[in-house]
Amino acid sequence: MYRYLWKHTITPQTLKRHYSMKPIASFIFSLLLLISCKNQDKLTFESYVLQGDECPDCPKVSITFPKAMENTKLASTINTVMEEEIISILNFDENVEASTPRAAITSFKNGYLELKRLYTDEAIGWEAQIEGRVVYEDNALLTLELNSYVFTGGAHGYSALQFFNFDKKKGKELENRQLFSNQGEFEQFAELKFREQEKIPLDKPINHTGFMFERDTFHLPENMGFTENGMQLRYNPYEVASYADGSISLTLPYDEIKGYLAKIPKP
């Protein structure tokens, strides 16, 4: 018994090591707690993958999108919005009203087979690629991005990018007008930045360098979303320019636009 106590005698050196370790242990514990709390604000997503049928006469279809796994109103809203958009992109069979992405793939296939039946020598294989991902999330806001490419004949296919913004607290999708406290002032600021990026003089019409804004008047794009680097404004092909010009994006840092936003993101 006395031998055991002797082996565990507390010396000045032992005390020094003990107390020098306490701040480090406390810091590590606080850091882990902070990370844990921060992660609790994040939703859980799983990658949902769908492929079209593999056969000589089948169009090539590949779909990947994030599916929210929580049993909440927000998760249900997110999944419904994403699935409905995918269905909208692929629904080419007027006789079938697709209610799921899988059914939409069948609709896309039927649309191609009907075209091939009518125009045997002219039908070229169809293709659809859709990929979704989470591009921004904090404790109040969530933005998903959906990239799609669809080819149904002609000179080329069509590519598009769409943003979907959600209010996590209310569990609903946000319309573009709900992103701003003052959309009119934001639009004026965005035009200045757009002109600066695209080198359009302030004293010239917005279409001076070849853009195709309706009535030669600047307007915000249909797709705007939060990213880690700022709010991204995305004009898809044909929206304000030709297909050859591709998509046009403008990213505005949050510190420049926070006065216009209804909710300020916290990257």
Domains of the chain in sequence order: 45-174 (3.30.565.40), 178-260 (3.90.640.20)
**Residue type at position 138:** D
Residue pair 230/253 in contact (Cβ under 8 Å)? The answer is: yes
Query: What separation in angstroms does the CA of 254 have from each of 39, 164, 165, 232?
Result: 23, 18, 16, 10
H or E stretch covering 15: helix 12-40
pLDDT tens-digit map of 12-38? 555 455 555 555 545 444 444 444 444
Give the residue-averaged pLDDT of 215-223.
97
Query: What separation in angstroms does the CA of 201 have from each of 87, 185, 193, 198, 241?
Result: 42, 20, 11, 9, 18
Short-list 241, 259, 254, 243, CA closest to 200: 241
Which percentage of the chain shows pLDDT scores above 70?
85
pLDDT tens-digit map of 41-91? 899 999 999 999 998 889 999 999 999 999 999 999 999 999 999 999 998
Give the residue-averaged pLDDT of 208-215.
97
pTM of full prediction above 0.75: yes
- Could you identify the residue written with the tokens 């949050």? 254
d(CA 36, CA 16) in angstroms, rounded, equals 31
pLDDT tens-digit map of 169-196? 999 999 999 999 999 999 999 999 999 9
d(CA 115, CA 120) in angstroms, rounded, equals 8
- Could you identify the residue written with the tokens 């302030």? 202
pLDDT tens-digit map of 105-143? 999 999 999 888 888 877 788 999 999 999 999 999 999
Give the residue-averaged pLDDT of 4-10.
41
